[in-house]
Each structure stands twice: as C-alpha cells, then as structure tokens.
Amino acid sequence: MKKKLLSVLLCAAMVATMAAGCGSKEEPASTPAPETKEETTEPAADAEEEKTDESQAAGGELHFEIVSKGFQHQYWQAVLKGAEQKAAELGVTMDFVGPNSESDIADQVQMLNNAVNKKPAAIGLAALDTKAALDGIQAAMDAGIPIVGFDSGVPEAPEGAVYANCATDNYAAGELAAEKTYEAIKDRIANASGTVRIGVLSQDATGESLISRGLGFIDKIGELIIADGKTVNVVGNQKFVDDSKCTKTDGADVEIEVLVPASVDSALSATDCQTLLNKADTIAIYGSNQHSAEAMVTGDENLGKFGTGEGDVIAVGFDSGAVIKAAVKDGTFLGAITQAPVAMGEAVIQTLYDIANGKTVSDIDTGCQWYTAENMEDPEIAQNLYD
Amino acid sequence: MGEVILTMKGIDKSFPGVHALDHVDLEIRKGEVHALMGENGAGKSTLMKVLTGIYSKDEGTITYEGKEVTFSNPREAQAAGVVIVHQELNMMGHLTVAQNIFIGREIMSGGIIDDKKMNEEARKLFDKLNIDIDPTETMSRLTVGKQQMCEIAKAISHDAKVIIFDEPSAALTEAEIEELFKIIRDLREKQLGIVYISHRMDEIKVITDRVTVMRDGGYVGTLITKDCTKDDIINMMVGRVIYEDPKTESTVPKDAPVVLRVEHLNAGKMVKDVSFELHKGEILGFSGLMGAGRTETARALFGADPKESGDVYVNGEKVEIKTPQDAVRCGIGYLSEDRKRFGIVVDKTVAENSTMASLERFMKGIFINKKKEDQVSQEYVEALKTKTPGVDQLVVNLSGGNQQKVVIAKWLVRNCDILIFDEPTRGIDVGAKSEIYHLMNQLVAEGKSIIMISSEMTEILRMSDRIIVMCEGRKTGELGIEEATQERIMHAATLRN
Amino acid sequence: MADNQKKGNAFTNNPIVKAVGTQKIVVVLVLIILLAFFSAASSAFRQYSTILSIMDYTYYLAFLGIGVTFCLITGGVDLSIGTGLVCYGLIGGYLITHNNIPVIVGILVTLLVGVLMGTVNGLIVSLGGLPPFLATLCTMMIARGLGSLATSGLSVNWPPTAAENGWARMLFKIEVGGVKLPIGFIWVLLFAVIMSIVLNKTKPGRYIIAIGSNKEATRLSGVNVVKYQTLAYVFSGFFTGLAAIAYANTFQALAPGTGAGMELNAIGGAIIGGTSMSGGMGSIAGTILGVFIMSVLQTGLPNIGLQANYQQIIIGMVLILAVLVDVFKNKKLA
C-alpha cells in the first residue's frame, strides 16, 4: 500500500514538475497561455454573479465568455489576438477557452455549459457540433444570455439563440480557391485527351467549416468546368460526394476525388496526398486547412510533383503557418486562401459589446483573401499571415 | 550422519493476529536427509522462509557452520550455501535450461553474456549429477520431472551446503521420484545437509534419516526415521490416530444402475478411445502416472476441452456435452485439481462461492436473494462441517481442506448427481483429508456417484469401489477393489502400446 | 530420455528455420506477398518514391516498436507511446521554434522527456504494482494533456529542410544528385542491432525476458525485478522520444490532442513479428519486420483505392489475426 501511494505521489510530482517547467518556458513567448486565465476566471466569475444585472444596465464592466474550437492551429491564436486587442480597446473582460483538439466535442460542450453558468453579458461561440451543444445553447437562452457565433458559427441553432455571426463565409472561401485553381488548369482540362483528376484533402468530414470549404470548392469548380462544356464526377468520401451540388456523370472528363483520413494524423494525410500524386491523371490538389495543406507539403517531398510549371501538379492550400508560407513563396504552391482571423476576433468582441449595449446587430462576413508569392508581402495580406 | 551444520533455536515469528512460529528448534547435520513434517499451516514453510531470509525472525538464533547468522534475503542465503528448491517450479519457461540455471549470476565476457560458456558449465553440472538434459533446450519443452531436475541442479550449482526440498515429488512420476532419490542419496554421500518437506509418508520412510514434526506453529519433536512407524509420525502431527486401511470390497450393490456411460472418447493426444461406466453410489477411481490423460479425460467429458469423438450417456440417455454448461445441465459437477485457478473465487465469500453455479435459483427478479443464499450456504456449511466463522467469510481465509468443502458445496447446491473429484486432497493436510474422505463416502451413501482422479495410490485403494487405470491417454486397466493391489495398478499404469 | 521432449516437424527442425524462427520466415513471406500484390494491383506502387513513403512510415513505427517490445516481453504493455510521441515532439519542437533553442538541445529535451515519462510508467508498474494496461492508459491521457499544456494548444512544426536549422530532417532523408535517399533506415538498423544485443546478450535483456516468463521465479533468483521491469518502460520512453524526432522530421506537423492510435500500430507490428502479449518472448528483428508489414499496408492500401475507413478495418483485422496466432502459439507451449 505504501509503495503504491509512493508511486502515485511520485507520478504526481513528476507531472507537476513537467507542467511547471513547461509553464515557465512559455513566459517569454508571445502567445498567452490558457491556464493563466483560469486563475483570474474563478474570482471574477463569482463577482460577476452579483454584478451581471446591474452591469448590463450600466454598460460598465462587461464580461464575455468566448468558446472557441481550441488552439491547435495558429489561426486561433490570431483570432485570440484580435479579440484581446478589441477587448482592451473597449475596456471589457473576457475568458477565451477552447478544447485540446477539434475532435473533443464533449469537452467543448462542457466549456459552453461552464460559460453559461458564469452568467456573462454575452457568449461568443464557434461550435464544433451544434447538436451536441444544444443543451448549453438552450440554457443560455433560458438565462437570457445572447450568443454570437464566429468562425463556422452555430449552424442550425434554435431560433432566437444566435443574435449574429461573425464568420468567414467558408463556402465562398472554397469558391474563391476553386476560381483561382481553375484559372491555372483551365487549358489542361480543355486540351486533355483522357480523364483528369482534381484532388481535395479534408482533415475531417464533420466540422461545418471544413465541409463548406470543401463543398464550395467542389461545387464552384464543377460549375466552371461544366460551363466550359466538360463533364464532372465526384468520388471518394461519401459525405462530400452526397452533398456536392454539381451534376455528376460517370466516366466524366474531370474526376474530383475527396480524401479524408481516418484520424487526425499528419502521416495519414501525407499518404493521402501521395496517393493522389501517384495517379498519373492528377492535375491539381486542394487542401482545405492548415493540417491538410501542411500534409501536402510533406507528401510531395518524396515525389516533387507540385509546382506551377508545365506538367506540374497545381497545389492550392488554405490558412498560413511557416510551412505553407514557405511553400507559397518558393512556388511549390500556386497560392493559398487566408481568412482574416484578427478581424474576426475584433468583430466578435465588437458585436458582443453592441448587443450588451442594446444595439441591433447583423451578420458580419469577416472575409478571406487569396495570396501568392507575388502579393504575400502586401501589408493588407501580411497582417493575416502568421507563422 | 556427520557433525551439525545448521541449528535453528527458539525461532519465534508473529504476523498480525497469527503466532506463526512458537519457539521452534531444528538441527541439521552434514550427510543427513532430515524430514520436516506437519499439517498444512503447521509452520514448515514459514520456518524455511525465516531460514532463507524471506521473512525476518522475531526471536531465536540461527547457527550455520559454527557462526550465528541472519540472512536478510534469499540471495544472501544462497551465497552462503543455503538454497531452497521450491514447491512451485520456479522456472522461466522461455529461457533455455542453462539460462535458467545461471539466472542472476550470468557468466559475462566483456559486458556480453557468454551463453556458450554457460552451456558448457551446465553440461558439466548435469554430468556430475548423472542427469541427461540438453542445456540449450528451452525450459518449457521439458517434462515436469526434468524441470524439477534442473531446479535441483541449479540449487547445487550454488555450491550448496544445505538444500531444502519443499515437496519436490508432488508433480513427479514414480520413475522420476526414483531418479530424484538417487540424486538425494548422492548429495547425502557428499556430506550435504538436506531438509525434505513432504506429505507422503511412504517417501519419508524411504529417503529420510530423521524426522522433525511441527504442529500449529510449534515444535513437537524429532525422531530417528528407522526407529518409528508411520503411525507414530502421524500421531505427532495430528495428535490423534486417523490412519485407515484400504477398502476391501465394493459397497455398490450388484444391480446398481449405470448413471454415466462414456464410449470411445477421443480428445487430443491425451485421450484416446476411452470407454467406461459409472454406477449409482459408486466411487470410480482413476489411477495412473502424471500425464496419463486422466484430467484430460475428465475435462473432455465435462466439456471444458473440445472432444473429437465419443458418446456420453447419462441415465441411459445420450447427451451432447459441448460446454461445461451442458455438463452441469446433465447433473455433472467437476472439482478441479487446481482449486485456486478453476474451483473457487478466493476473494468472494463462502455464500457467494456456494451459489455460484446455481445462481438462477437465488434470484428475486434481477436481484440476488441474499437471505436465501445465506440460508442455503449455511445448511451446507453445517452438512459438510466446513470450518468457517460464517458464510460471509472470504474463502481466501479458509484452509485448503475447507476451501475444498466449499467447492463441493457449490456442486451439491447445483444438485449434481455425478461428481468428478480431480485430486481432491492435493495440498490438504492429513486431518482435513480424512474429513474429505468421510464426506465422499457419505455422498455415495446418499446415492451420488463419484469419479475420483488421484495420483496417490493409498487414496485410490482406500476410496475406490472400482479402479480405471490409464497410461498415455488410453485405458490400460480396470480393476474391482477386491482384486486391486498397488502392484497390479502400477503394472497397468506402465503398460505402453 | 529425449523421447520426453516435444518434437517439431521437419520444417521447424531445419537448422536455418530454427535459428531465424518460424514466425519471422512467415512474416518475410507475407511481406513479399504484400509487396507483390500491391505492385501488381497499382502502377503507382511500383516506383521509387513508394520506398521513400514506406520508409517515412517505418521510422517512427520502428522506434515505437523497438521500445514497446521490451514492455511486451515483460508481460506488460505501454499504451502511452502514441500520445507520448506527440507530447515529447511538441515540447521539443515548441522550444526550438518559440524559444529558439538549438535543434540538438531540442532533440535531447525530447529524448529526456521520453525517458522521464518512461521512468514514471515503469515505477507505477513495478513499484506501484498497477497493471501496465491501466498505468499506461492513465499516462496516455496525461501525455495528451501535457502536450497541449506545454504548447498552449498550438500545433508545432519542426524546422523545415530549407530552414537554416533544418538539419535534423537530413538525418532521415537526404538528396544526392537529385535522388532522395531514405537514410533514416540506417538509424533504425543501428538501434535495432544495438537493442537486439541488449535483449539477447546482456543482463538487462536477459532479466526482462525472465520477468516476462516468470516474475516470481526471477525475483527469487535474486534479481532486482523492480529495477529491470522499470528499465523496460524507460527503454520504451526513450524510443518514443526517438520516434517523436523521426515523426517530427518526416511529417513535420504535430498537433496537440492527437497521437492516440499510433501505439496500436507499433504494438501490432511487434506482435506480428512474434512478440507475445503474454510476455517472455519477442525479438527486435521480428518487430522491425512486423512494423514493415504495417507500413506497407498503410502505404499500399490507399494506392489500391481503399478509403481511409476500410484501411483501418483491414489493419484491425490483420492485428486480430496476429493476436490469434499469438494465443494459439501460447496454447501450444503450455
């Protein structure tokens, strides 16, 4: 018994030391660590309980809860940055939380419930899964707490729960990627003797934003191809095949193949990319987020088929980060889509603030941009690119 | 017998709530085989564990080669020349024979284990002991007897001066026991001191020079073996006379109906074309050497192992037994030779174990009717005279004999009319043994029928009405108790085809 | 007396078969069949870059496999190696990219964290007496949380080849005259040979096998079983660290909260290679071969047009088969 206790203590001590070690290492880093916030949260939340009603009326010390999708991608750090800037500017406080990974739906539901319990003036929510979050959303409605959706928002939320959405129109972003891709491959499709293939890599087929980005791309590029008198078919992941709107023809001139890995693992996605590159008729691949785009860079390393020259496979990515930026810069990628995460963060806080102050609000498209080796240094674009 | 090499004097050891050793004395001389006897729980193993440093003593002195010593672990004892050959085989099945013998003291050359050298050394050792084993063979591929020989060789290779054999013969065939005795006599010649722990009275008479008897953690006395009788020793062990003679005639009526008929049973390599009948009220003894296929026959009959062919008739009706559930439905209960693994759940109570095979009788809706469970269990505790403070006692706290009674109760609660006892008294002390025998006789008197598998000849001759002898998976003999003798059984048990 | 000893058939008694082991020969045959099958079924598989892709997979799986083989041989298991890989790689990579420490220090930190976690695993199992399955299931979750905590939930990229501190990637793949060479395999071979010697020819290896075969007997033989049982998990932790370095420098991106599932591929590889789930038996060479089968499947199945979910089903079935063979083998031994 003693020995068991000893080892448990030992283990706890080890974990504590490691955690402490990591914590201290972070201090010089620019990114704010979520765990430091938790300390400030508890007392603040207690105080809030009494204050909420009057503060809302007075428009004084407002507090917001932001439930994000986590911090796995640097994109979210930029959203956080925008939100923090705006919060400081407006003189409001906020808790910005998110689960460890985008598959931890249950954790996010728990975070939403906690947020509701803290009775903030309003809640910002980027739901991983609206159905799973329904109870929390209902609780917020019952408590009279307004919700503002951001990023992918809260699709199919109950009537009246969500006051406004601050989001990239992911479907439109996918369309933009399709237009830019089509420009580069238009001639090859027109001149092709047999079938050609366009690959789409998606990290998963459950998140609304990734589904929209994929479908926006597929629908648009299908539309453009059909407009030029060719036929299209969509194969691969069933979700995308079923939901894509373009007219599908068996044995078409252009085959759009959608691959989704069984789990979020760079190795699996890199293999998917290689599988596509290994097919002789592949002329372009689109990766719809940072994970997929990075896996494209890795996957191409062994094969060296991406590029913008004659006979190269066209690569189009999404989001930024050092790896993708480097790939765009050296011409491996034709280009990539970036959202405006900083603007999104700012817009969320602004909208929450407006609601708390009784203004009417409406949806905001925070926009997206196409960047290439040529324009990526432009300040307007560079501010949305992160390492 | 030479001079004294080891003396244990006034050894006292207590565990919380138990006075395990009460001032015990033991004296070992060079060149003697000294039997240490006593019922289970008498303190023999505890005493040896104190000697070899597994337990520390509370009081008393150990004098070894003229000096007072205290070994703080088995390794120290080993280094000094006091080694123990354990009852359970302490081998690492995946390693070779030589690797086993040299475990913990590998021969190294330049940081790398020198297996070649170890094989040579092991071969020399075997030659010295006249044992024919290949040191490079994987341990698990040897027979149990050979594995035991390796254990002994390992003990001797430590430059042992005192060797303790803890029930070495439990798993050996007659031939292997002979070989073991040859080695022990050889060691005695070489002036080693040998402690021999065994329950088998016959062996004690054959191999030992002196006997020290313990009872309830205390020292009873030491006798010169050749000057005393078995009864003397047993009386010292239990404090009462209980030794009984073999059965002389069957107690089964001539016209008793056949309750179980097995025809041409085949299962694996160990059960070949076995046929027999069991009558109502009969104890049918299954005799044979280790590995004769008796347990395998029982397991195949019971549905615990798959059978290839063969028909089984219960009360004249043909039945299909594919799983133990089928067997239980036919009223057959099986008491495994390995109680702890297959017979009981040690960390459950007497009541829970008793009703385990027939829980459906104790259900009240989806809940277990605890009251009824306790009541029925209590009836069987009384009927079988199980020594337990109550039916809520955990089985782990009972002695081996009483655990066995709980297993019997389990099958009786299930209303089994045919009971297979596989080594019913293995690891059970003399007193409890006689109670189990009494119980079996009582059961057949009540009309139950028993198949008893036993490796102890005396047990077979004392309990059986009829005896089936097996050898290498085949039935090689069938004897009525009136005609059965040790010699005739042994003859059949060694009949090879 | 030799007639008492169990005899094999002509095949298993062949000296070459005996030396290499039946299972390894079967695994090699299966490997050849798989390679032949994929080559026949997919033209894309029949090219040089496929070797590179298989190797990319093999590096980290092989390191995970070598480490976990030691745990399996003790009769235990280490489930924390999947999330552990991501955790250690995240910590090392985060320090390199965010705190600008030299890559070599990042590598050492990654290995050190692996060794520390391995030690924790080992002590909980050996000293604490927790079942390895349970103990490492807990540390699996701890590693997952630690990785997220250490990087504030950020995904981390180790320096790319083009970067000035991108030399670590060249430990695994270099380009000579326009041809990419999978030199990471040299490391795998090197460590496989070293650990093979450790397993078969040194005391730690011998005692790890002995513990897996019969722990109590090993203890009674005067061997410090706590020490050597712990050591098996330390090996596992160290090799998880190596695997993290291999993964980070072949696939670049590590995301917090991921990694669960990798351990099954590695454990599966070890079992396919003849290491027994019940302990006492196993070989490094077998593990490497088994891991090869896993990586050939991972690379080959997408090439014949199977969707991700089917791939997992097939790999799952292969594992069931391997475990069944293991169970059958143990029955025969008993």
What pLDDT is stored for residue B238 in this prediction? 67
Up-side HSE of residue B317: CA atoms within 13 Å toward CB?
6
Top-level class of domain A31-168+341-367: alpha beta
Quick one: pLDDT at residue B342?
Answer: 65
Instruction: Give yes or no for residue C4 having a pLDDT over 70.
Output: no
pLDDT single digits (tens) A195-246: 999 999 999 998 888 999 999 999 999 999 999 999 999 999 999 999 999 8
Bridge partners, residue B393, by sequence: none
Q: Do C206 and B142 touch (CB under 8 A)?
A: no
What is d(CA A222, CA A375) in angstroms, rounded to the nearest whole number? 27
Length of chain B: 497
Count Cβ–Cβ pairs < 8 Å, chain A vs chain C. Answer: 185
Locate A105 and state its tokens.
């739906």
φ, ψ dihedrals at B318, nearest 5°: -70, 135
Cβ contacts of B95 on chain C, cutoff 8 Å: 206, 209-210, 213
Cα distance between residue B370 and residue B78, in whole Å: 52
Q: How many domains does chain B have?
A: 2
Q: Enumerate neighbours of B (3 or more CB pairs within 8 A).
A: C
Binned at pLDDT 50, 70 and 90, residue B496 comes out as low
Structure tokens at B337: 């030779």
| Residue A140 distance to chain C (closest CA, Å) | 27
Quote the domain boundaries for residue B55.
4-238
Residues of C in contact with A296 (CB under 8 A): none
Q: Inspect the interface and report whether the beta carbons of C213 and B94 lie closer than 8 Å.
A: yes
Report the C-alpha gap between B283 and B17 in whole angstroms. Answer: 41
What percent of chain B lies above the pLDDT cut of 70? 94
Q: Could you tell me the maximum CA-CA distance found in chain C, to the nearest angstrom?
A: 70
Chains A and B touch, using 3 or more CB pairs below 8 Å: no
Distance CA C210, CA C213 (A): 5
Mind telling me how many Å the CA of A40 is from chain C's nearest CA? 17
Contact B126, C233 (CB under 8 A): no
Is residue B215 located within the same domain as residue B272?
Answer: no
Q: Which residues of C touch B93 (CB under 8 A)?
A: 213-214, 280, 333
Residue of B155, B223, B145 whose CA lies nearest to B192: B155
Q: How far apart are CA B284 and CA B463, in angstroms?
A: 9
Same domain, B168 and B298: no
Pairing, β B474-480 against β B466-471: antiparallel
Domain assignment of residue B474, yes or no: yes
* Closest in C253, C308, C312 to A266, CB measured: C253
Last residue of a domain, one of B188, B209, B238: B238
For the cut 90, the answer to whether the pLDDT of residue A51 exceeds it is no
Task: Classify strands A122-125 and A63-67 as parallel, antiparallel or unpaired.
Answer: parallel
pLDDT of residue A7: 55
The residue behind tokens 């990798």 is: C262
What sign for the dihedral angle of Cα C159, C161, C162, C166? Answer: positive
Q: Which residues pair with B286 in a beta bridge?
A: B453, B468
pLDDT of the residue at B424 = 85
**Which range among B440-444, B453-457, C191-195 has the greatest average pLDDT?**
C191-195
Radius of gyration of chain A (CA): 23
**Angle, CA B104 vertex, CA B100 and CA B107 arms, to 5°:** 85
Q: How far is CA A163 from CA A55, A121, A220, in A?
A: 20, 13, 30
Is there a single domain that holds both residue B26 and residue B137?
yes
How far from chain centre, in Å, is Cα A247?
28
Q: How far is CA C80 from CA B474, C67, C70, in A?
A: 51, 12, 14
Cβ of A294 within 8 Å of Cβ of C252? The answer is yes
Q: Could you tell me if residue B246 is inside a domain?
A: no
Give B81's Cβ-side CA count (13 Å radius).
13
pLDDT digits (tens, 9 = 90+) for C197-250: 999 999 999 999 999 988 888 887 778 899 999 999 999 999 999 999 999 999
Query: pLDDT tens digit string along B154-164?
Result: 888 888 899 99
Option in C5, C201, C220 nearest B137 (CB): C5
* DSSP codes of every residue in C79-115: TTHHHHHHHHHHHHHHHHHHS---HHHHHHHHHHHHH
Segment (H or E) for B64? strand B59-64
Q: Is some CB atom of chain B closer than 8 A to the CB atom of C194? A: no
pLDDT at B20 (0 to 100)? 82
What is the 3 state secondary structure string of C63-84? HHHHHHHHHHHCCCCCCCHHHH
Which of C197, C207, C217 faces B90 most closely, judged by CB atoms? C217
Partners of B86 on chain C (C-beta within 8 Å) are: 220
- Identity of residue B224: I
CATH code, domain with B268: 3.40.50.300
Contact A256, A216 (CB under 8 A): no
**Amino acid identity, position A76:** W
What's the rounded Cα separation, in Å, for the pair B296 and C302? 49
Domain ranges, ordered by start, for chain A: 31-168+341-367, 170-339
Angle at B458 between CA B457 and CA B460, to 5 degrees: 65
* Cross-chain CB nearest to C256 (options A10, A18, A72): A72
pLDDT at B340 over 80: no
Same domain, B230 and B287: no
pLDDT in tens, B130-151: 888 999 999 888 887 788 888 8
pLDDT the model gives residue A20: 45
Contact C5 B73 (CB under 8 A): no
Name the residue among B289, B31, B342, B52 with its Cα closest to residue B169: B289
Taking a C-beta distance cutoff of 8 angstroms, is the pair C197, C189 a contact? no
Same fold? A31-168+341-367, A170-339? yes
Distance from CA of A56 to the nearest CA of C (A): 32
Region at B11 (left for phi over 0; alpha for psi -120 to 50; beta for the rest): beta
Phi and psi based region of residue A289 (left: phi greater than 0; alpha: psi -120 to 50; beta: remaining):
beta
Residue B130, SS3 per DSSP: coil
Question: How many beta-carbon pairs below 8 A join chains B and C?
Answer: 76
- Model confidence at A31: pLDDT above 60: no
Class of domain A170-339 (CATH, top level): alpha beta
**N-term to C-term CA, chain A:** 50
Chain C CB contacts of A275 under 8 Å are 44, 302-303
What is the domain class of C48-293+308-327 according to CATH?
Answer: mainly alpha
